[in-house]
Chain A
């Protein structure tokens, strides 16, 4: 890793990273993996989705992990960002639901039950 030695270095790195994110045309599946999410089966949801993506030969899907999404009541939670669409957060993602997210939403854009509406502004 190149060391950062000034504010200008940091700004350049940020711009590069943001550009890369804008150019990314993949669907990004972000699984909440805090202690609580893992305890309620977040890892299982991730494994099931990875297998389903491979089975369907969907090449343009990326998986990432994040921390707590703050919806304990709906854990495990998964956020799916399809390019050109608003990100959607699905709650209550058990193994069957994880499969359905890939088969229905990622493949064909059909929404499922259990979408958690955005009820906050980010600072």
Chain B
């Protein structure tokens, strides 16, 4: 591994260093100092301006400027305002929010209290997935400890600002990460999105002005307040400041969480920090932004990673999942996997998403079975664009991204499935054929003995054959053969 320090830990600065269940360890790392300083020496407008100047953008994937969001929420007059933390991390292969909540819950608690001071809210709610029991336990303990110490509750640090936090549990619906759906879910309604405007900053939780930010966004607040906006904005690119936590997963050596400055290239992430591809295989693509994102390929290795560049490439930052794929991954199957996910997770409120996801999935399924036609390619593209333009919320609007981006770069793979009835990566089982190479077969009968459908015949010490009609393409024979006599094509 490289000893070059390409990573800068801001959001994950305390993860793995302090005991998350001990408030004293957090205080020893200057914990709650930013909150104390804000309510003692700064006006709410000062706090908003500091965050605005820092250029922090939403780390949940949207990339909306956090300071602007707070400013809007602070301008509306209301008898009650709310701060909401979105901890409903649902992207397949993303786990940075959980790591922050389990490793450094106080940084989120403190940041929410600072946000409350900035916008004039006295109540905060964390919407957290019920599937994260340990994160819930540690966050609840952090809130209780903070309350007992007096850094949460009435008149914090002797000021006129009061703030308290409660938890609300999400029931595992992906769409509830969308802020309007999240608010409905918190109010006890169905988790379904509504059209914006009005934005939550104007009319959110119970119809009151609400600032909703993602866990990682909140985790950046305290360092900005302690070290200043200028320090923060010196990291990153012109329009994307600071760092981003990525969850490296898939066919990469060093699977794990990394926090890197915006503008780092894919090459540095995969080959220098990630240690390259497992088993020395060839790198093919990275899916960023989960089911809403797209595939970046070998052509994009030198592109600086930031919000705008990813959107220009037909992907998006998303919450920061990075799923690395090698030559053994079939891109049509990858697109199908993500469509399967969004098809399950669509809330069904709007037709383009509810019906469109099903139709897109069916077409992909047809192609992976070798029954696709060239019309399907045209239809996939057309329907993808329609769904993008007409769906109600971000889930539907971004759902076709995996299809569009894989089609743009790997159209040859789609064509191979349709025209040659072949899956170049050898993944789609309907298009595979296992055959025995007569020159190599010694007639040991090992393959015939493991075949679950008894489709391999041949006498001992004679060449065996596979009956293609009965073969179910399970690959058991290939694994068993010691003589490399079986090929998969």
Secondary structure dominating the interface of A? mixed
Residue pair A122, B36 in contact (C-beta under 8 Å): no
Nearest chain A residue, comparing its CB with the CB of B151: A4
| Distance (whole angstroms) from the CB of A48 to the closest CB of chain B | 20
**Complex Cα–Cα for A74 and B275 (A):** 13
Residues of B in contact with A, size category? 35 or more
Q: Which of A11, A73, A116, A123 has the most CB of B within 10 A?
A: A123
Q: Report A-chain residues with C-beta under 8 Å of the C-beta of B9.
A: 120-123
Cβ–Cβ contact B157 & A70, under 8 A: no
Sorting the interface of chain A by its residue count into under 10, 10 to 19, 20 to 34 or 35 or more gives 35 or more
Are B32 and A70 in contact, CB atoms less than 8 angstroms apart? no
B286 proximal to A (CB < 8 A):
no
**Which residues on B sit within 8 Å (CB–CB) of A120?**
5-9, 259
Does chain A have a CB within 8 A of B158?
yes
| Closest residue of A by beta carbon distance from B259 | A120
Q: For residue A68, give the distance in angstroms from its CB to the closest CB of chain B.
A: 4
B13 touches A123 (CB 8 A): yes
In whole angstroms, what is the CA distance A84 to B280 when docked? 40
Contact with B along A14-58 (1 / 0, CB 8 A): 100110010000000010101110100000000000000000000
B18: CB under 8 A from chain A?
A: yes
B103 engages A34 (CB within 8 Å): yes
Q: Complex Cα distance A71/B16, Å?
A: 10
Given contacts A67-B20, A122-B13, contact A35 B7 (CB under 8 A): no
Given contacts A4-B157, A119-B1, A123-B227, contact A14 B27 (CB under 8 A): yes
Q: Is the CB of B102 within 8 A of A67?
A: yes
Contact A35 B98 (CB under 8 A): yes
CB-defined contacts of B257 to chain A, threshold 8 Å = 68, 70, 72
A100 at the interface (CB under 8 A from B): no
The reply to whether the CB of B74 lies closer than 8 angstroms to some CB of chain A is no
For B153, the closest partner residue in chain A by CB is A3
Contact in complex: A119, B273 (CB < 8 Å): yes
Rounded to whole Å, the gap between the CB of B331 and the closest CB of chain A is 25
Q: Is B185 an interface residue (CB 8 A)?
A: no
B190 close to A (CB within 8 Å): no
In the complex formed, the residue of A with least CB distance to B224 is A123
Q: Which residues of B contact A72 (CB under 8 A)?
A: 255-257
- Complex Cα distance, B30 from A11, in Å, reads 8
User: Across the two chains, which residue of chain A brings its CB closest to B146?
Assistant: A4
> Which residues of B from 203 to 254 have beta carbons under 8 Å from A?
223, 227, 253-254
A77 to B15, CA, bound (A): 13
CB distance from A33 to the nearest CB of B (A): 8
Q: Is the CB of A119 within 8 A of B99?
A: no
* Chain B neighbourhood of A85, CB < 8 A: none
User: Do A119 and B16 form a contact, CB below 8 Å, given A4-B151, A13-B27, A71-B256?
Assistant: no
Known: A5-B158, A68-B102. A10 touches B256 (CB 8 A): no
The residue in chain A whose Cβ has the minimal distance to the Cβ of B134 is: A35
Q: Residue A65 contacts which of B21, B27, B150 (CB distance < 8 angstroms)?
A: B21
Docked pose: A16 CA to B326 CA in angstroms? 52
A1, B149: Cβ atoms closer than 8 Å: yes
Q: A119 CA to B274 CA in the complex, in Å?
A: 11
Whether A79 and B28, one on each chain, are in contact in the complex, defined by CB atoms closer than 8 angstroms, is no
B3 contacts chain A at the CB level, 8 A cutoff: yes
Map CB proximity to A onto B126-142 as digits: 1 under 8 Å, 0 otherwise: 00000010110010000
Instruction: Give bound CA distance, A71 to B102, whole Å.
Output: 15
- Fill in one digit per residue for B412-436: 1 if any A CB lies within 8 Å of its CB, else 0: 0000000000000000000000000
In the complex, how many angstroms separate the beta carbon of B11 from the nearest chain A beta carbon? 9
Closest chain A residue, CB of each to CB of B227? A123
Known: A14-B27, A35-B102. A70 touches B16 (CB 8 A): yes
> Is B27's CB under 8 angstroms from A17's CB?
yes
Shortest beta-carbon distance from A23 to chain B in Å: 13
Complex Cα–Cα for A117 and B103 (A)? 20
A70 and B16 alpha carbons, distance in the complex (Å)? 8
What 8 A-B pairs have minimum CB-CB distances, sorted nearest first? Answer: A67-B103, A69-B16, A120-B7, A3-B150, A70-B257, A68-B99, A72-B256, A123-B10
Can you add 19 more A-B contacts, CB < 8 Å, to A35-B98, A67-B138?
Answer: A3-B148, A5-B150, A7-B33, A7-B40, A10-B33, A10-B151, A11-B33, A14-B30, A30-B17, A35-B135, A65-B19, A66-B15, A66-B18, A66-B20, A67-B16, A68-B98, A119-B6, A120-B9, A123-B8
Q: What are 17 residue pairs bridging A and B, where the CB atoms are less than 8 Å apart in the complex?
A: A4-B157, A10-B157, A14-B31, A66-B17, A66-B18, A66-B19, A66-B20, A67-B104, A68-B16, A71-B256, A119-B2, A119-B3, A119-B6, A120-B7, A120-B8, A121-B8, A122-B17
A residues neighboring B (CB under 8 Å): 1, 3-7, 9-11, 13-14, 17-18, 21, 30, 32, 34-36, 38, 64-74, 77, 79, 116-123
